[in-house]
Structure 1
Amino acid sequence: MQARWVKIVPHLMDTLLLTLGVTLAVILNFWPLPLWLSAKITALVIYILLGTVAIKRGKTPKIRATAAVAAVLVFAYIIGAAVERSALSWLG
């Protein structure tokens, strides 16, 4: 966990994912954004925030663990929204 690349790569991946999501919307001329894509990008921002709490901003192990579980659930939602092309994710 102390290696330099471990601290840098997650930030690069999150930035790349967010940039590619917005770029996809622009290239495909999605404006206004379809609901599923808006939900997916919003969930990605939430995932990033939860990840920062899980990795370094959580004050107690319980808070970090809860944030980590929530981040995994949000990630599953993102996958479901992409596969189903629905803001309801796996439920739709």
Structure 2
Amino acid sequence: MPVPDIAWAYPLLLKTHVSLVVGSVGLFALRGIGVLWRHAWPMRPKWRRLSVVIDSALLLAGASLWWLLQLNPIHQTWLGAKLVLLLVYIALGTMALKRARTARARALFLLAALACVAFMASVALARHPLGWWAP
């Protein structure tokens, strides 16, 4: 059975994925700053649900790109590195928004999470597990 030509979907999925990354990280950064300033809004259900919706759409777009491009995180080591960094980013973000006990610790976790996501972007752009440090 012939495979349908769905190459047209790649630019759409890529733009969607990148837009969702910007939205997700932007909302996370705003919420993190709000938490540091001791505002209540960042932890309100509306904003938390919005994060979940954006992140779920981001995951769906990323998985669709994997499927479309037939990528395997074991064979494409840059993708495997990006997935490991995603888990680190989630853990750091959780600490920044709600688990860290002091404002100083929350600020450090926020900065670390943002540095982690910046490195993830460099890995994706370089398509190399060392990202901006690739030879």
Give TM-score scaled by structure 1 length: 0.82
Within the candidate set 78, 81, 92, 1:50 is matched to 92
Q: Which amino acid aligns with 1:35?
A: T
Contact 1:25–1:33 (Cα < 8 Å) also in 2: no
CA RMSD of aligned residues (A): 1.8
Q: Which moved more, 1:29-38 or 1:60-69?
A: 29-38
Q: Report how many residues are paired.
A: 92
TM-score by length of 2: 0.59
Larger radius of gyration: 2
Query: Structure 2 stretches of 5 or more lacking a match?
Result: 1-40
Query: Which residue of 2 is the match for residue 89 of structure 1?
Result: 131
**Residue type of the alignment partner of 1:25:** W
| SS of match in other structure, 2:104 | helix
Indicate how the Cα distance of structure 1 residues 11 and 56 shifts in structure 2: closer, same or farther if over 3 A, else same: same
Partner of 1:13: 54
Structure number with the bigger relative contact order (C-alpha 8 A, sep ≥ 6) is 1
Match of 2:115 in 1: 73
| Range moving further from structure 2, 21-30 or 82-91 | 21-30
Q: Structure 1: state its 5+ residue gaps.
A: none
Cα 1:75–1:54 change in 2 (3 A) is same
